[in-house]
Structure 1
Amino acid sequence: MCADTPEYKDTLNLPQTDFPMRAGLPNREPGWLDRWEKIGIYDRLRDKATASPRPAFTLHDGPPYANGHLHIGHALNKILKDMVVRSQQMMGHDARYIPGWDCHGLPIEWKIEEQYRAKGQNKDEVDVVDFRQECRKFAEGWIDVQREEFKRLGITGTWDKPYLTMDFRAERIIAEEFQKFLMTGVLYQGSKPVMWSPVEKTALAEAEIEYHDHKSHTIWVPFSVVEIKLPDRFADVPGYDPGEMAYERAIQMQHSDQVRAKDLEGCKVVIWTTTPWTIPSNKAVAYNPEISYGLYEVTGRPEECWARIGDRYVLADKLAGDVLSKARLEDGMYRRLRDVSAEELGTLTLAHPFRGLDGADGFWDYDVPMIDGDHVTDDAGTGFVHTAPSHGQEDYDAFVKRGWMDRMTHNVGEESEFLPHVPFFAGLKVLDHKGKEGKANTAVIDKLVEVGGLLARGRMTHSYPHSWRSKAPVIYRNTPQWFAAIDRAVGDGQDTYGQTIRSRALTSIDQLVKWTPQTGRNRLYSMIEARPDWVLSRQRAWGVPLTCFTKKGALPTDPDFLLRDPKVNERINAAFEAEGADAWYKPGAKERFLGNDYDPAEWDQVFDILDVWFDSGSTHAFVLRDREDGSADGIADLYLEGTDQHRGWFHSSMLQACGTIGRAPYRGVLTHGFTLDEKGNKMSKSLGNTVAPEEVVKQYGADILRLWVAQSDYTADLRIGPEILKGVADSYRRLRNTMRYMLGALAPYSDAERVEPADMPELERWVLHRLAELDTVVRKGYAEYNFQGVFQQLFNFCTVDLSAFYFDIRKDALYCDGDTLRRRSARTVLDILFHRLTTWLAPILVFTMEEVWLERFPGDDSSVHLVDIPETPKDWLDEPLAAKWAMVRRARRVVTAALEVQRVDKVIGASLEAAPVVYIEDKALFEALRSHDFSLQSDVDFADICITSDLTVTNKPMPNEAFRLPEVEGVGVVFEKAEGEKCQRCWKILPDVGTHAHPGTCKRCDSALS
């Protein structure tokens, strides 16, 4: 637009800035990190809040595990947290962020065991305190690594004073929190099936489980009917009077029962299972009264078949054909005899398939009852469920419901081996020490074949629980564990939200917590509503022990089984504060903690460690409540993690807090999805589709990674890969160019140029209107953690409203005007834009906005992150003006499109060569474009808006040859070339060029030069 003519070039107000087009983020970002650390940004913000009190906002960091380099999911999580903290801070809060780490637990212990195994050492032969010290050192090393990796992403927080679950103070408070469960009666020792890892030799929580395809044996096992207990039809008949109708009816029913029972004598109820190893522990067979069952008889058979002609099987009708085909019985080889009612099924007593075997010493010579259960379906299997209460949650629940706890079995040990008392199978393992299949399944199947106890067998691949650490399959195994009873009244008097952990949690979910997105509420509610008691114990070494004692010889149900003494607890806690949880394992610990009040010979010390989810679930106590920079009321404003934490940290924190403070430890919960590759596939090292944060930062810089987070819908799964990152980088470049233009156009700028909004031209007042609109959008978006919405609005504003419209129009005035109101107004608006865009974008592009800020405001103490988002006056809003300019912009689109046609056809080279005639049918638009007050003091006209040298607006009838856009009705353009000479300073073609004092200039440029 501006000339290269030597005598006039230096008279132009061209942009001046050293802000580079190329960001060079990978090399320059570390310098800003060093600068922030040097000037103490985080501490200065806290001082600012002390000097001028601000409402606190606390995002409580869910602790990552101190084990390994960061993956892209870590980056996503921490960047989201940082954007929350920074945006809340810049909107007027004292936004605190204390990063933390989860340090105890099996993954670290597993790594240390591997080191011992590599040296040929046995972990069990190492002193437990020495072993724990090795675990501590391992965690410390990874904390240092991860801290630097997180800081490199631009994350702000108390990096010099994070929280660690293995700090002595933290271990003390975790023990105290456990002792609250002990003292309020929530803790109990029970025996029930838990998910058990034979590889890791410990119980696992649901949050430690992931599901993978697993190939299992499948068997169809017939259980023979050995007794039919007919109902007493006379129970409700008064007097047993043979003449009474009720008596006669009872006689008829009894006879019918006897007749029908004949059909069932000697028949077999068929079960199906994918865990043959649980058959030796069978104690019942379950059916569902809502399912239709039938009695089926074998009438023919092929040679290779375990069924015999005359065998009768009870099966669900929906599944009978499939089951019998698995037994190699084709159509015509069996027939359905009759229905079998649920009432009849309840009268049957079955025999275990191994009943009466020689060499079993009567081990399985017990009755197997038929029980009803809603968990039985006819979707697969036989319509009957083999029930081993020691190896399944639903099986266990069915026995608890009936008070049959004395029928539990203890047949499988910690290495998944059959214990010595189990005939035929003693010592055989379900899984070996690497998680591979042992010999137990095939041995049980072979025995069933041997005794004629199998109808069919097969293999199937299905989803099966695995430990997320060892990646090995797990089993359900009955073992003594410590539990928190979630339906037992908590004896702490904090009953505002309920008396039990479950009721408090469900009330908190509905009444106290805001969920982002709202679906998170439903997920956690349904999980807690249906969950069993919390298994607190693990049979490992690296963690906080269950600091309690049990009385020798007492039963878990005895009132004095657990020692509940505040003085003992305090001695334990004081030792933990000074020495850490290692104090529990040192020689003489029992005597030390029991003191002179109890005889150590009468008490056993518990050496199980707490579930690490109890550790992390307790962080609210030693971070939010215990630290000066925590939360005043001990409650976090926000917990923010991935969706998997509904069963993890959100869940355990809720249960733990409801057991100790009577409510949820958070007021808000935000969840994000998982990271996938560009094709939507799960990332896997074996597939080579992982994206490491370190590599992205090396290639593009951390701000590009942060921008990827801001541009993504984090409520769903997020895709990332090379092509996606290229697109993000392109968006960044366009935004950077907008900031660079502003910096150049503002240099130099002083408040002496400032123009009050009321004195500005309409175009500038329209920009102020847009800023007032955006201020509401940005603040609302940040308050709702809608970073994608905030960035999209700001990016569109910068690229469409500013770069493609406002800047395009005002370049002429900024470069070529003298000291005019129009130029001073534009520069005032640019200054206003600068302060808002830099602060609005600072929570997202932390490095780039700091660079932009320091370009204008250099100084040792200067930082965009030390300022708040400026307040934007509401009276800048002007809806009538906005409506008017919306019409103007629609008309402009038609003009620029018409000129583009001429440019493509090489009729013109630049739009300033044109002087189009614009035909307007709409009266309101015509008046807007023709009105004398279209812009204050005629500081802009439609030619300026369309960047033409001249332009005529008319409401005459539109000629047929006029250019139109289908989407903009009533506007047509007829191209005309501009008349006159080209101004050698501003390049406009005008009739008056050459008639002024300065040769080759137009009136405006001549005035500027004068």
Structure 2
Amino acid sequence: MAESKSTDLYRDTVFLPSTSFPMRGRLPQREPEILERWKKIGLDEAIIRQSDQRILEGKKVFTLHDGPPYANGHLHIGHALNKIIKDVINRSHRMNGEVVRYIPGWDCHGLPIEWKVEEKYRKAGKNKDDIPVLQFRAECRSYAQNWLSIQSSEFQRLGVQAEWDHRYATMDFSSEAAIVEEIGRFLLNGSLYRGLRPVMWSPVEKTALAEAEIEYHDHTSTTIFVAFPFVKDPTPQHLLENVSAVIWTTTPWTIPANRAIAYNNDITYQIISVKAVNADSHVSIGANFLIAQDLLTSFCEQAGITEFKEEASLEGNALAGAVAAHPLRGKGYDFDVPLLAGEFVTTEAGTGLVHCAPAHGEDDFYLCQQHQIGVTEYVEDDGRYASDVPLFAGIHVFKAAEPVCEELNLSRDEARNANKPFTGLVAQSSIVHSYPHSWRSRAPIIYRATPQWFIAMDDNRKIRENALSVLEDVIFVPAQIRNRLTSMIASRPDWCISRQRAWGVPIAVFVNKATREVLRDAEVMQRIVEAFKKEGADAWYNSSPSRFLGENYNSEEYEQVFDIVDVWFESGSTHAFVLGRDKLDFPADLYLEGSDQHRGWFQSSLLECVGTRGVAPYKAIVTNGFVMDEQGRKMSKSLGNVIAPQNVNDELGADILRLWVMNSDTNEDLRIGKEILKQQGELYRRLRNTLRWVLGGLEGFSDKEKLDYEDLPELEQWVLHRIYEMNQVIQKAIHTHEWVGVYPALHYFCTSDLSAFYFDIRKDSLYCDKKENIRRRAVRTVLNVLHRCLCTWLAPVLCFTAEDAWTARFGENATVHLEEFPLIPVKWLNDDLAKRWIQLRSIRRIITTEIENMRREGIIKSSLQAAVELNFSEEEAALFGHYDWAELVIVSRVDINIIPGSASLYSVETKQGGEGHAAPRIRVATGHKCARCWKVLDEVGGNSSYPELCLRCIDVVS
């Protein structure tokens, strides 16, 4: 009790930390308050003014071009991840003294929005096609605008700084005019053409789809082996007489569209005669089949053939000129089926003979086109066979497997009864495989040949070749992702840019009705662009064609195209109406999106820009991964594992979400969940405590206290060295865009170097030394530097917390977000000093471990109750003997014993078997506890005026 009273007596003489920065962040409540304060003080406007001033000063411009998210629904965690990374990068470049204007954007056209508006009509029993197009487009615009506003607010709640009032949207009139002008560039340079080619088609949405609009799911397909009897045998020995070529397909519905069979010149084929079959087999004994030799065993197993005779083998090139009959010959399919050599044929599966339906496959199409075999359009836009298709009119292709197989069975039986070569169905089964689906409707898609508008990849503009060339100068982060984009561009077909929908920018061109030639007239295109600037793309729908064609053309002679342009072309054109103006560089310094955008925005932006300007729109590409749950599963409502950013904001705060992002390896797929966010909360608490300790130690600090670098103790110089190193880590990230690991390193600096080491050692001096004491002034000099560094370094990530830590010291009229990173003098770099302190900390760790053991055993309650006997070799004494070890290990006394001739206990050699001196010895300190600093010293009680204090504390309080 007496000790407690004496301690209370001197409490007011101890310089305990004091700050308005609270221990608990209350982020869900505090962050909205800070957002309101930023609006009140006009922070966004102040940032623009700062940028204008930097322009006048000739400062470097940094431009990160925002890939437009889709204005359709609340933000998901992937949106938050991507936008937070962008925000951290933008803020870092701005605080590095650069000019940064961040213009957020939105993708507002296209099928998802149109689909949602259609749903309203479907529920009301109305057909969208019966709604006037301008009314329908107006409803789509209103829907997109509503979600654009909601998403903008949600991004701002995440702390993302941008020029929200100057955002861009693809549905703005100016944007629609720019997009149609870009279409016009391809029209006038000759790369835009209309052609018939199989494209990915959604029967549900009745439109062509781009690769980026496709996702793959497991799908069960009927598989069939089908026999095509030869009707023309080019082999000298008539080897193919009474023989049938057998194909295998997973799309029975394409059999009516078959026009050829492909083989490979390098494959060896075998003719077999069937001698025995099992009870379930459809095959007739005596049937003769042509199969690739390597696939013979697997084919026979699946066809139920138990015994066969190998009649003859022949190389693929021997099949040149061979012709087969369609298996439905005599039923409306009375055309020949030539065998054609194709390099795409392999022996990985099937029979080594590939059935070719040029209307429904790219390889099929190009092979048949090469041999002047035409395309028959059998399938309507809703996926049903056309009314003139023999046998199958009106049947949906996804329900056609059984009808097709039934007809093939009939053909087989008819051929068998007529003693003709085996024809029709050989075997039927099913397979579960990965199949393309529309990511919007989740429905499977088909390949379907329809007239579409394409941009040529390999014409005189050489878009593919030039795109691959300019990519050589683009920086990729991570570096290995370069191969993904280049391989996609190298193998991609011509770009199909047309969609058969209503909501979007039309491919505003005219086609001559007589010649079917597209009109390429710069004056016509300019009139279209000017109309779009004033009225938007609706001008194409509410104007007479003569408005655009002018006096030089008769509008009766031209067809007006109403297909809309692919939304990927739109977003790929954003560089044309965002960059290169208003302090935004072209090309952009950086594009940053998810890994799926290598087949989406990264690619479409590159191809569009190369096709119109011959250059890449970006200098660097950064790719982030996808977000999974804690078990590595994809998030879905059905699993109940969705983490919504809005919920994280409300429960934990946006700064926790931002910290999760920057503590993750964003180059790979990330995981998130309640436990992971709980861990981030703990990491946040440590960072916050570091800031709070710094602020508490700086109460009342003035510049008069500052010491020059040369006057600082070695420990403070070591902290400044670590600050220099940390600054280099951040500077490297700024210049390379490689941020993975930066903030974990900063967290380590705060918790290990500062809180657990430097603060622990210096709190005694900070609390108990005289105000004018040099060591205490040194501590506060370094804390002043740390506050400015930590607040600015953390501001890009913990944008709300750093602001609170800044205003707690400098007042509500200040803001950290107009500050720059402190310039760190190169003289703070001291590698020799750093190496020495690595050794010191190693020795310290051995001592503190022993002290902690005594505390756990109950021998002492705190380290200040301990005294240490520290043995050194002569070499160690020379290096480390002059340090205040009692302060370093936070004990009341350290006695150093020099052991002549001993080896270093702390060297690698000694640990490996050398003979060193004895380890440190820890004992209970003798003397009395100072009522002010709590050290246990013999000198306490020696002064009758202050019997409870040590000499230092007497000097302070007297």
Bucket of the pairwise TM-score, normalised by the shorter protein: over 0.9
How far does residue 27 in structure 1 lie from its aligned partner after superposition?
0.5
Per-residue Cα deviation, 1:509-544 (whole angstroms, up to 9, x for no partner):
112x11111122111100111111000111100000
Alignment equivalent of 1:645, drawn from 583, 586, 597? 597
Q: 1:316 to 1:489 in 2, by over 3 A?
A: same
> Residues 227, 4 of structure 1: CA spacing in aligned structure 2 closer, same or farther, 3 A cutoff?
farther
- For 1:885, give the aligned amino acid: W
Tell me, in whole angstroms, the C-alpha distance in 2 between the residues paired with 1:788 and 1:289. Answer: 51
The 2-side partners of 1:351 and 1:771 are apart by: 80
Alpha-carbon separation, structure 1, partners of 2:608 and 2:54: 35
Tell me if the contact between 1:918 and 1:973 (Cα under 8 Å) persists in the aligned partners: yes
Matched residues in 1 for 2:658 and 2:19: separation?
26
The aligned residue for residue 419 of structure 1 is: 386
Corresponding residue for 2:483?
522
**Match of 1:926?**
877
Alpha-carbon separation, structure 1, partners of 2:36 and 2:534: 35
Choose 838-847 or 421-430, whichever is displaced more. Answer: 421-430
Letter in 2 for 1:542: W
> Judging changes above 3 Å, is the alpha-carbon distance between structure 1 residues 664 and 111 closer, same or farther for their aligned structure 2 residues?
same
Q: 1:291 aligns with which of 249, 267, 282?
A: 267
Shift of 1:981: 1.6
Q: Displacement, 1:863?
A: 0.6
Take 1:422 and 1:62, find their aligned partners in 2: how far apart are those partners? Answer: 45
Name the SS for the 1:368 alignment partner.
strand
| Residue number among 360, 368, 376 corresponding to 1:399 in the alignment | 368
The match for 2:886 is: 943
Conserved? CA contact 2:61–2:584, under 8 Å: no
Equivalent pair of 1:550/1:563 in contact (CA under 8 Å)? yes
Equivalent residue runs for 1:488-527 within 5 Å:
488-490=459-461, 500-511=462-473, 513-527=474-488
Structure 2 counterpart of 1:371: 340
| Distance apart, 1:968 and its partner CA | 7.0
Give the C-alpha shift of residue 225 in structure 1. 1.3
1:729 pairs, out of 681, 705, 729, with 681
Structure 2 distance, partners of 1:131, 1:927, is 86
Give the superposition deviation at 1:459.
Answer: 1.1
Q: Report the secondary structure of 1:271's partner residue.
A: strand
Q: Deviations over 1:358-417 (max 9, x none)?
A: xx2xxx2222121222211211111111111110011112223x242x522111111112
Match of 1:99 in 2: 104
Q: CA deviation at 1:23?
A: 0.8
Q: Which residue of 2 aligns with 1:248?
A: none
Q: Distance in 2 between matches of 1:154 and 1:683?
A: 24
Which residue of the other structure, out of 537, 547, 559, is the alignment partner of 1:592?
547
AA in 1 matched with 2:377:
H
Q: State the one-letter code of the partner of 2:255.
A: I
Unaligned runs of 5+ residues in structure 1 are: 231-256, 431-436, 491-499, 556-560, 935-940
Residue identity matched to 2:889: C
* 1:565 counterpart letter in structure 2: D
* Aligned position for 2:446: 475
Identity rate of aligned residues, in percent? Answer: 49
Match of 1:1004 among 949, 952, 957: 952
Measured in 1, the distance between the counterparts of 2:834 and 2:395 equals: 80
Is the Cα–Cα contact under 8 Å of residues 233 and 322 in structure 2 kept in the other structure? yes
Match of 1:442, as an amino acid?
E
Compute the displacement of 1:901 (Å).
Answer: 1.3
Q: CA deviation at 1:872?
A: 0.2
Q: Which amino acid aligns with 2:625?
A: G
Matched, 1:34 2:36: yes
Q: Distance in 1 between matches of 2:88 and 2:246?
A: 59
Secondary structure (helix, strand or coil) at the match of 2:425 reads coil
Give the Å deviation of 1:964. Answer: 13
Structure 1 partner of 2:922: 975
CA contact 2:67–2:105 (8 Å) conserved in 1? yes
* Aligned mates of 1:465, 1:226 — CA distance in 2: 36
User: Does the 8 Å CA contact 1:583/1:589 hold for their aligned counterparts?
Assistant: no
Deviation, structure 1 residue 942: 0.8
Q: How big is each residue's C-alpha offset from its partner over 1:208-227, in whole Å with a ceiling of 9 and x where there is no partner?
A: 11111111110000111111
Q: 1:826 pairs with 760, 767, 779, which one?
A: 779
Alpha-carbon distance in 2 for matches of 1:566, 1:764: 70
Change beyond 3 A, Cα 1:772–1:924: farther
Amino acid at match of 1:575: A
Deviation by residue 1:77-96 (Cα, 9 ceiling, x = unmatched): 11011011001111121112
Q: Which position in structure 2 is the counterpart of 1:45?
A: 47
Contact kept in structure 1, 2:477 and 2:738, CA below 8 Å: no
Give the residue type in structure 1 aligned to 2:340. I
Post-superposition CA distance 1:96-147 (Å, at most 9, x none): 2110100000011111111111112111111101110000000010011111
Alignment equivalent of 2:430, drawn from 459, 463, 469: 459
- Summarize the Cα distance change of 1:597–1:4 in structure 2 as closer, same or farther, 3 Å threshold: farther
Kept in 2, the 8 Å contact 1:2–1:815? The answer is no
Q: Distance in 1 between matches of 2:228 and 2:54?
A: 78
Offset of residue 963 of structure 1: 13
- The equivalent position to 1:854 in structure 2, one of 797, 807, 820, is 807
Give, in angstroms, the shift of residue 681 of structure 1: 0.6
Q: 2:895: which partner in 1?
A: 952
Deviations 1:638-691 (A, max 9, x none): 111000000000011011111111111111110011000000011111111111
How much does 1:42 deviate?
2.7
More deviation, 987-996/698-707: 987-996
Whether the aligned pair in 2 keeps the contact of 1:898 and 1:963 (CA below 8 Å) is no
The residue number in structure 1 matching 2:457 is 486
Root-mean-square deviation (CA, aligned residues, Å) is 2.0
Deviation at 1:418, TM superposition (A): 1.5
Question: Which position in structure 2 is the counterpart of 1:676?
Answer: 628
Distance change >3 Å, CA 399–CA 926, structure 1 → 2: farther
8 Å Cα contact 2:667-2:740 kept in structure 1: no
The equivalent position to 1:334 in structure 2, one of 301, 304, 308, is 308
Report Cα offsets for 1:147-187 as digits up to 9, x if no partner.
11110000000111210000000000101010000111011
Q: Quick one: structure 1 residues 958 and 197, their matched pair in 2 at CA, closer, same or farther if it must change by over 3 Å?
A: farther
Post-superposition Cα deviations, 1:52-83, rounded to whole Å, max 9, x if no partner, equal: 33211111010000000111001001101101
Q: How many Å separate the matches in 2 of 1:920 and 1:264?
A: 96
Q: Distance in 1 between matches of 2:393 and 2:583?
A: 57
| Code of the aligned partner of 2:387 | P
- Equivalent residue in structure 2 for 1:662, among 598, 614, 619: 614
CA apart distance, 1:428: 1.4
1:919-949 Cα offsets, whole Å, 9 max, x none, are: 234x543322213xx4xxxxxx011100011
Shift in alpha-carbon separation, 1:608–1:4, aligned structure 2, 3 A: farther
Q: Distance in 2 between matches of 1:621 and 1:18?
A: 49
Report the residue type matching 1:95 in the other structure.
V
Match of 1:748 in 2: 700
Separation of aligned partners in 2, 1:443 and 1:3: 98
Structure 1 position 21, deviation (Å): 1.1
1:629: Cα distance to partner? Answer: 4.3
From 558, 564, 578, the counterpart of 2:534: 578
Q: Secondary structure at the match of 1:581?
A: coil
* 1:280 maps to 2:256: yes
Q: Is the 8 A contact 2:263 2:353 kept in 1?
A: yes
Match 1:545 to one of 473, 488, 506: 506
Map 1:97-176 onto structure 2 (within 5 A).
Answer: 97-176=102-181
Shift of 1:477: 0.5
Residues in 2 aligned to 1:102 and 1:108: alpha-carbon distance in whole angstroms: 10
Which one of 15, 19, 39 corresponds to residue 17 of structure 1? Answer: 19
Residue in 1 aligned with 2:284? 308
Task: Give 1:799 shift.
Answer: 0.5
The aligned amino acid for 1:662 is: G
* Secondary structure of the structure 1 residue equivalent to 2:621: strand
Partner of 1:843: helix, strand, or coil?
Answer: coil
Between the two proteins, the alignment pairs up a number of residues equal to 935
Distance 2:630 2:460 in 1: 50
Q: Deviations over 1:572-610 (max 9, x none)?
A: 111111111001001x42121112221111111001000
Residue 825 of structure 2: aligned partner: 873
The amino acid that maps onto 2:406 is D
Change (3 A) 1:118 1:531: same
Secondary structure of 1:916's counterpart equals strand
TM-score (norm 1): 0.90
Contact 1:920 1:972 in 2 (8 A): no
Change (3 A) 1:198 1:218: same
